[in-house]
Structure 1
Amino acid sequence: MNRFVLQICIALLVGQFSNAQMAEKSLHQKVDSIITNGITNEAFPGTQVLVAFRDSVVFHETYGFHTYDSLVKVAKDDIYDLASVTKISAPLPALMKLVEEGKLDLDAPFSNYWKPWKKKKDKKALTLREILAHQAGLTPYIVFLNKVTKKNGELKRRFVRSTSNLRFQKRAYENLFVKSNFNRKMYRIINRSKVSQEKTYRYSGLTFLIFPKLIEQLTGQAYEQYLENTFYQPIGANTLGFLPSEKGFPNKIVPTENDTLFRNTLTKGWVHDENAALLGGISGNAGLFGTANDLFKLLSLYQNFGTHQGKQLLSKEVVSEFSTIQYPENENRRGLGFDKPLIGNDTLAINQAYPAPAASASSFGHAGFTGTFVWADPQHQLTFIFLSNRVYPTRENRNLYELNIRPKLQQLFYEAYVHKNSTTN
C-alpha cells in the first residue's frame, strides 16, 4: 500500500471516528436536556438511565440527587424500590418456570391451584391466562391499609405493633411489625372480591399478592429462596431481592416518599407499597429492590428468550408465549404479566405513544409506581432501563408522566442505535 492510499485510509478512519464522537456527544446532550428539564420541573430529584444494544451496555449515566436537598448524588450502583416492576421480576419468572414444568396450566381454571376459588362462583372458571393478561375482570386494587387503621388514622394494635413478638413477626418498617397471619385476612378479602361480568381489559394486581404463596406451595421452597436459587444467583443479579435494609449491602438505597399515611416518616430501604408492606415486604405486586445493572441481567435473560451465557434457564417457547399480546381483539395490549406497546403504537406521535413509537410490537416490559421503567425489545435487541424516585417527596407528583420523559428518552436510543444500524447495514 503506497503512502497516498494509506493517508486516505487514515483520513477515512479518522472521519468515521470523529462522526461517531459527534453522534455520541449529540445523544448525550439530548438526554441531558430531557432529564435536566425533568429535574428542574421536579419530576424526580435524580435518575439513572441504562441502555443496552445487542447485549452490551452502550449507555449508563446518572443524574441529580437522591433528594432535592442535593446532598447525595445518584450513583450507578444505587438500589431502588422497583414497585410494580416486581411483578415481572419476581413472581413472573417463577410462574413461567412452573408452566414450563407442567405444574401450572395457563388455560386450566386457576381454582385448580388456588383452592379457595373453587367455592367462588365468579372465580372458579377464571384461567391463569386471563388473570395474567388482566382480562379476568378482577377488582383492580384493594387498600388493605384501611383494614389496619382507625378513622382517626391511628394504627390498630391488633394488627400492627411497634415491637416484634411471636405473633408480630412481619416487618413493615424499622419500628412497625404486622401480625404474622395478617396475610390470611388479605387472602380472604381477595377471595371475596368482586369480578366484573365484562371480559375486557381491566388492570388488576390482586393475584400478585397471592402468587408468592402459590409459588411456595408448588415448589416446596420459600418464595424468595426459590427466586434466588433459580434465577438471581445463576445470572449474577446479587442485589435483586426483598428487604434490602436487612442484607447489609454497601450500596446506597434511594429513598422514596415522605409517607404521611402509614409510617409517618421518609420511606427508605423498606417497600413503599402499603399492601406489600403489610405482607412483611415480601410480595409479588411490589417489594423487590435492585440496581440497574442487575435489572439489565434479568431483562437480557428475557430478551434472549430464557438463555443466559449458553444455559437455558427458561424455555424459549414459554418466554415467547408470556411476552406475546394475548387479547388484541379486545383492544387489550397486554402479554402474560408483561406490558406491551399500545396497539398501533408505531403510528402514534411521541406524546401519545407508550412506550416509544419505535419500540417493536414484540417488545415488552413494565413500569413501577415509584418512577421505575424497564423495557426489552428482542427484535431490535435494545434494552431500556429508567430508575427514579418520582414519588419523592410525595406520590402526588405526576410530572414524570406529564412531561412524557421515558418515551422521549427511549425514542432517542432507537434513533441512535437501531435506526442508525438499519440504514448502514
Structure 2
Amino acid sequence: MCSLSAQLSYSSLNEAGIDSLSLNHKIDSIMTLGIHNNAFPGAQLLVAKNNKVIFHKGYGYHTYDSIQPVELDDIYDLASVTKIMGPLPALMKLYEEGKLDLDEPFSKYWKSWKHRKDKKDITLREILAHQSGLVPYIIFLSKVMRNRNLKKRFIRSTPSPNFQLQAFENGYVKNNFNRKIYRMAKRSKVSDDKKYVYSGLTFLIFPELIQQVTGDTYEKYVTTHFYNELGATTLGFNPSKKKLKNTIVPTEVDTLYRKVLTKGWVHDENASLLGGVSGNAGLFSTAEDLARMMLMYQNYGEWNGKRYLKEETVKEFAKIQYPENDNRRGLGFDKPLIGNDTLALKDAYPAPEVSPKSFGHSGFTGTFVWADPENKLTFIFLSNRVYPTRENRNLYELNIRGALQQVFYQADSTQNRLRK
C-alpha cells in the first residue's frame, strides 16, 4: 500500500478542458496505424497534465498472435530510459552533496583512468552530455561467444560459487566479468574531436562508482532513496526474480545469445552480462511508476510535498550544456533538437510543440518518457517494438511517439486559446 504522498492523482481529459472524443479518436488512429504497420504488437500511453494523470490507455497485444492484451499494469523493459531512472538520480544526489564534481576529471573518481592519456582529463559534465569523445558502444557479447556458442569460461547453464550473476533463465555469468568490461572501456579509443556523439559506455561503470562513493550497492541506493520513497514498487531490476503480480511484456525472440524469447530478463546484452543490473539498461517498470519519477523531475525534484533533489540540481542537469557545439543534450537527459519549434513534425524531435525546457529519454525496446516543466505535461509511451525482432523500425519511420505527443500539445493549446 502506497502512502498518501506516494499516490498518483488522476483527472479526466474533460476536467483538463480537452475534448475527450476528439483526442481519443486521434490517439486511437495513430496507435492503430502503428499496430497495423508492425511498429509494435501493443503499446500504452500515459499523459499527466498539471501533476494529474489525464490519460492512460493500452492498445493491442503483447505479441502479434493477439492472445495477451496489453494491460495498464504491465511491466516493460525500459532499455536506455534506465539511464535517467537509475544512475542519473544517484549522480544528481551525490553531486548536490558535494561528493561528485561535474567539472573535475572523471579519473578523480574512477582511478583506473588516471594514467590513460586520452581519458585522464575527461570531465563528468562532458561524459553526461555525450561530449567526451568516448566510443558509442562496445559489444562485449563478442567476447563471450565463439561460433554462435557461449564460452563456458564466461557463462554457464547452472549457478556455482563463481557463476552467480543470472543473465537469463539458464544463463549465469562469471562473477567478475565486470572487470573485463571496465578494462575494455579503459582501453577504448577516444576521439580527438570533441563533438556530440552519444555514448553509453560510462553508464556501465556508474553502478560501481556509485557503490564506491556511497558504500551501498547501486541497486540498493536508488531503490532506497527514490523508488521506495516515491511508491514506485515495480521500478527495479530483474523482475523475474521478484514476486510481482504484474505481467511482464516480452521483448525479442533472441536467435543469437539466449536463443529463446526474452521476457523478464533485460534485453540489452551488455546489461545482461552484468547480471541485469546496469546503468545503461536493465530497469523494468509500469507506466504509473515511471510517471512518479517523471513528475518528480518535472517539478524539479519535488513531488507531492516531498523533496527528493534540489531544484537547482535538476535545472542544471536538465539544461543544454554545449549548444555552441550543436549538442542538444543536458546532463544524462535528452533534450529537443535545437530549433525544434521551427521544424515540421517529420523532422522534429520530439514533437515541435515541446518547450526548450523539456527533457526525457528514449529506449531501444520502444520506450519513451518526456517531462515539460513549462507546459506541466508529462508523456510516457511504452512498447515492445523489438518483438519479434529488433529489425522492426517502423516505430521510428512512422514517428509514432512524436505524433502522439503532438496531439496532446495541440489539444492543450486549443484549450488555452479558448480560455482567452
Which runs of 5 or more structure 1 residues have no equivalent in the other structure?
A: 1-16
CA distance in 1, matches of 2:27, 2:293: 24
Give 1:350 shift: 0.4
- Contact (CA 8 Å) 2:78, 2:283: kept in 1 or not? yes
Partner of 1:241: 236
Matches within 5 A, 1:1-400: 23-150=19-146, 152-400=147-395
Give the letter aligned to residue 23 of structure 1: D
2: CA distance between counterparts of 1:105 and 1:19? 44
Q: Aligned AA for 2:394?
A: N
State the 1:415 CA deviation.
Answer: 1.1
Segment drifting more, 313-322 vs 410-419: 410-419
Any idea what the Cα deviations from partners look like across 1:140-159, whole Å, max 9, x if unmatched? 00000000001x11111100
Cα deviation per residue 1:177-230 (whole Å; 9 max; x = unaligned)? 000000000000001100000010010000000000000011110111111110
Decide whether the 8 Å contact of 1:53 with 1:417 is kept in 2. no
- Kept after mapping to 2: 8 A contact 1:200/1:330: yes
Q: Equivalents in 2 of 1:404, 1:77: separation in Å?
A: 25
- Give SS of 1:62's match: strand
Q: Secondary structure at the match of 1:52?
A: strand
Shift of 1:19: 12
Question: What secondary structure does 1:367 align onto?
Answer: strand
Cα deviations by residue, 1:345-382 (Å, 9 ceiling, x for unpaired): 00000000000000000000000000000000000000
Shift of 1:421: 2.4
- Give the C-alpha shift of residue 418 in structure 1: 4.2
- How much has 1:23 moved relative to structure 2? 2.0
CA distance in 2, matches of 1:20, 1:377: 16
Separation of aligned partners in 2, 1:418 and 1:144: 47
SS in 2 for 1:213: helix
Aligned length: 408
Distance 1:417 1:138 in 2: 40
Judged with a 3 Å threshold, the aligned counterparts in structure 2 of structure 1 residues 99 and 422 are, in CA distance, closer, same or farther, namely farther
Alignment partners' CA distance in 1, 2:318 and 2:279: 18
Distance in structure 2 (CA, Å) of the matches to 1:367 and 1:22: 27
Give 3-state SS (helix, strand or coil) of 2:59's partner.
strand
Residue deviations 1:276-317 (CA, integer Å, cap 9, x gap) = 000000000000000000000000110001012222110001
AA partner of residue 298 (structure 1): M
What is the rounded CA distance, in whole Å, between the counterparts of 1:345 and 1:22 in structure 2?
Answer: 25
Contact in 2 for aligned 1:243/1:282 (Cα 8 Å): yes
Change (3 A) 1:18 1:212: closer
Q: For the structure 1 residues 224 and 422, does the alpha-carbon distance in structure 2 shift closer, same or farther, using more than 3 Å as the test?
A: farther
Aligned equivalents of 1:20, 1:337: Cα separation in 2: 31
CA distance in 2, matches of 1:270, 1:358: 36
Distance 2:224 2:15 in 1: 46
Give TM-score scaled by structure 1 length: 0.94
Letter in 1 for 2:247: K
- The aligned counterpart of 1:10 is none
Q: Determine helix, strand or coil for the equivalent of 2:219.
A: helix
Structure number with greater Rg is 1
Relative to 1, partners in 2 of residues 1:325 and 1:65: Cα closer, same or farther, differing over 3 Å?
same
The alignment yields a C-alpha RMSD, in angstroms, of 1.4
Change (3 A) 1:158 1:19: closer
**1:417 shift after superposition:** 2.0
> TM-score, normalising length from structure 2?
0.95
Q: Matches of 2:18 and 2:100 in 1, distance apart?
A: 52
Determine the C-alpha separation between the residues in 2 that align with 1:290 and 1:72.
Answer: 18
Deviation at 1:423, TM superposition (A): 4.6
Code of the residue aligned with 1:50 in structure 2: it is: L
Asked whether the 8 Å contact 1:140–1:203 carries over to 2, the reply is yes
**Aligned twin of 1:3:** none
1:234-264 C-alpha deviation (Å, 9 max, x unpaired): 1110100000011110000000000011000
Q: CA deviation at 1:97?
A: 0.1
Distance 1:29 1:424 in 2: 23
Q: Give the whole-Å Cα distance in 2 for the aligned partners of 1:141 and 1:374.
A: 22
Letter in structure 1 aligned against 2:42: G
SS for the counterpart of 2:19 is helix
Asked whether the 8 Å contact 1:380–1:418 carries over to 2, the reply is: no
Give the secondary structure class of the aligned counterpart of 1:119: coil
Gaps of 5+ in 2: 1-12
